[in-house]
Chains A and B, each alone.
Chain A
Amino acid sequence: MFAYVGRRLLYSVPVVLIASFLLFWAVRTTFDPLAKLRGGQDQGAIARMTEVLGLDRSIPEQYWRWLTQFVTGDWGVSSRTAGSVHGLILPALGTTLQLIVWGVLAAALIALAVGVYSAVRQYSAGDLAFTGLSYLGVAMPPFWLGLILIQVLAAWPQEILGLADPPLYFVGLHSAQGGGPLDYLRHLVLPVLTLTVGLVASWSRFTRTTMLDALSSEYVRTARAKGVPRGRIVVRHALRTSLGPFVSITAVDAGLLFGGLVVTEQIFAIQGMGRLFLDSLLAGDVFVLVPWTLVIAVVVIVFNLLADIAYAVLDPRVRLR
């Protein structure tokens, strides 16, 4: 297995390098890193910075220079904030990972519960209701959903009940004066809902399909003939086999999740990777955008790798070679 992990990581290196080079090239040709200085009259400063950043060289050369510095731990300085890129990306990644962990956890649990229920009670009223909801969830523009949720779950209750604070917050992940776990939870509910409704919709449909397959399989019939209790069949026999494909579909959607994060963080003013990306893009800050892409790409790849390993653990028939 270690050989497998090693080889997979090795294979992904060129993909990450090409992706980051393309982005470097795209951003460098569309933005002027010295735009701030050009406003002033200081010709010396422009020449100095051109020299320091190596802007007079070809793009591949600049990329190589940036890359060698990056891998040796020198991530450079943001042209927007003049602070270190390291100090911008790491805290943002921490914030975003909180959203991802809670989001994926919530989405997976709800989707599995809904999917299992829908498969066990196929064509019941509950199943039909969940089917309808999942169609809505997939067709809903994510940011519109976020805005509607703010209106319905925060603005209205506050207005109707005459509260000083909305019952659920919609700015940031913590109150300014701090606060305990409850405060964190009240901040977390709306962004996590916004992030996960689409995922829950498609993952629960997927679980329903795989569960229906499993429930009509021969080993389930055999178990039933042996007199194994129904609940045990659903959990130990059917759900167990459905978990493998479920894990791999969650990994496929990891990229999708990052798209959702950009929107969610923008709506709820959360200072994570999504906000960092938008702010840096608006300022044309190539020194943040390119490392940003690398970090995201690595996270996506690690996510996929973990899913493959989890698949092999869940399904002993799968061998990682």
Chain B
Amino acid sequence: MTTLTAPAAPAQERTQWQLARRRFLRHRLAVAGLGVLAVLLIGCFGADVIAPYERGVQDLILGPTPPSAAHWFGTDELGRDYLTELLYAGRISLAIGLSVAVLATAMGTALGAAAGFFGGWVDEIIMRVTDLFIVLPAIVVLAVVLQGAGRSPAVIVPVLAAIGWTTVARVVRGQVLSLREKEYVSAATVLGVTRRRIIVRHILPNLTGVIAVSTSLGAASAVIVESTLSFLGYGVQPPESSWGNLLSQAAGLIGTGKVYLLYFPGLFILLTALAINFLGDGLRDAFDPKGGRP
């Protein structure tokens, strides 16, 4: 008997996390996305070491040149190496994207879980607030607030998060509503487990997948929204630079020989958003218990 049961034992001992990690690693695009994102993060935040030229060094005699062996991504109108500028700009873009995602997910999870778990007037108030943001286009709210409050990253991040949390809250609320009715929650309630402990031990762990996915999707959309705001004149202001801000400076170069300055910042944003979206897909599959045997 013992020889028959022994081989099955290791599979049963795997924790949820190990199962999730296995499923994630099988998702090739997600692993590729993680790799690309890692390269971008290292490139941008390690720009002091990695960047081929020193930041902001102008070469007015050289001026704008198309991509070449010396300057892979060309040089901008002041003769600055464009790759270097892009790496430093990426710091702000990525930092905004990641911090907005974390902040929005934290707010959304807390409020969505409260709405779903407590129901009643708490639910009513929180859901009516999310309704407001369906009626008011996000970009309008953003522009009005940023026009009034200034346009530094310290303002942009909380404002983007203040809008982003509503989506997370709706998803988390739905999830909590269905979890609340599960037998093991009823069982815990009957056993006299405190509400606080039920939330922390029984509800939150089941939300890991939703939270991971919404953080990643939130980061991708924050990077794109920041660039859109920059284009409309409400993003990060020079001399600070972000990809969106480089892109909006290059917007007038269509039909000229310098149009390559328009391509690269957009490609960086596209690559970042793609990598993060693939990562999100992988996380969703990894945390889905129905996602097949790893």
Contacts and interface: CB of A to CB of B under 8 A. Distances in A.
Given A30-B147, A148-B266, A263-B232, A16 B255 contact: no
B70 interface: no
A144 B224 CA distance: 10
B247 interface: yes
Contacts of A155: 254-255
Contacts of B140: 258-259, 262, 277, 293, 296
B113 interface: no
Interface in B244-280: 244, 247, 251, 254-255, 259, 262-263, 265-266, 269-270, 273-274, 277-278
Interface in A250-279: 255-256, 258-259, 262-263, 266, 277-278
Interface string B127-151: 0100110111111100111011100
Contacts of A30: 144, 147-149
A15 B266 CA distance: 37
B125 to A, nearest CB: 12
A16 to B, nearest CB: 7
A147 B147 CA distance: 25
Contacts of A148: 262-263, 266
Q: Which residue, of B244, B254, B265, has the highest number of chain A Cβ atoms within 10 A?
A: B254
Contacts of B227: 141, 143-144
A159 to B, nearest CB: 7
B220 interface: yes
A233 to B, nearest CB: 28
A148 B143 CA distance: 24
Nearest to A145: B266
B228 interface: yes
Interface SS of chain B: helix, strand, loop or mixed?
Answer: helix
A147 B132 CA distance: 32
Q: How large is the interface on B (under 10, 10 to 19, 20 to 34, 35 or more residues)?
A: 35 or more
A151 B262 contact: yes
Interface in A133-158: 135-136, 138-144, 147-148, 150-151, 155
A217 to B, nearest CB: 19
A281 B254 contact: no
Contact of B259 (A144, A151, A258): A151
B209 to A, nearest CB: 18
A296 B137 CA distance: 8
Contacts of B132: 15, 18-19, 22
Interface string B18-45: 0000000000000000000000000000
A263 B231 contact: yes
Contact of A281 (B136, B144, B251): B144
Nearest to A30: B148
A223 to B, nearest CB: 28
Contacts of A135: 274, 277-278
A301 interface: yes
B255 A144 contact: no
A142 to B, nearest CB: 7
A288 to B, nearest CB: 12
Given A15-B128, A151-B255, A141 B247 contact: yes
A147 B269 contact: no
Contacts of A142: 224, 228
A309 interface: no
A255 B247 contact: no
Interface of B: 128, 131-132, 134-140, 143-145, 147-149, 220, 224, 227-228, 231-232, 244, 247, 251, 254-255, 259, 262-263, 265-266, 269-270, 273-274, 277-278
Given A141-B270, A262-B232, 18 more contacts: A12-B135, A26-B145, A135-B277, A141-B269, A144-B270, A150-B254, A255-B135, A258-B139, A258-B140, A259-B228, A262-B140, A263-B231, A277-B140, A277-B143, A278-B143, A296-B140, A297-B136, A301-B135
16 contacts: A18-B132, A31-B148, A139-B270, A141-B266, A143-B228, A143-B251, A144-B266, A147-B266, A155-B254, A255-B136, A259-B137, A263-B139, A263-B228, A281-B144, A282-B147, A297-B135
